[in-house]
Amino acid sequence: MPVVTKRIKISTKGRDDVKDITGQIAEIISGSKISDGSVTVFVSGSTASVTTIEYEPGLIADIKDMGERIAPANGTYAHNEIWGDGNGHSHIRASTIGASLTVPFESGKMTLGTWQQIVVIDHDTRPRTRDIVIQVMGDK
């Protein structure tokens, strides 16, 4: 079974910045020449996550609101007490959503729903450059 691994970098603003990477993933699948299989998307780092949403302003606002409800930025976190970096909430938000996602594809096209996009969410407290690993596996 062929496996193709690629990396992309994205710049983020932090503070639950949401970036749509669906198009970049589709290009990697197309370039892989693999027809049917699955693509795994993994974000390196412990303060970012990967998921699917309908990428529109209302849901982007809702993601930010959800983060505040799950792990408030002004909350008390043992991580902050130990490291003093003030991003304990970022780690909790990222671990709640998760660092990876796998999507099946057929005939070179992801099986995403009509309004479903793959996004990276940077929960950290500052701008970052995020390294995203994409691994395409399947049959040619």
Q: What is the pLDDT of residues 47-61, one digit of tens each?
A: 999 999 999 999 999
Single-letter code of the amino acid located at 135: Q
pLDDT at 77 over 90: yes
- Which CATH class, in words, describes the domain spanning 3-139? mainly beta
Helix or strand (DSSP H, E) at 9:
strand 3-12
Can you point out the beta strands (E) in 78-127? Answer: 100-106, 109-110, 117-122
Where do the structural domains in the chain lie, given as residue ranges? 3-139
pLDDT at 91 over 90: yes
Q: What is the pLDDT of residue 96?
A: 97
Query: Rounded to whole angstroms, how far apart are CA atoms 46 and 122?
Result: 10
Query: Rounded to whole angstroms, how far apart are CA atoms 71 and 67?
Result: 6
Q: Are 93 and 16 in contact (CB under 8 A)?
A: yes
Q: What is the pLDDT of residue 103?
A: 98
pLDDT at 140 over 90: no
In which band, very low, low, confident or very high, does the pLDDT at 41 lie, cut at 50, 70 and 90?
very high
- Token pair of 125, please? 């407290």
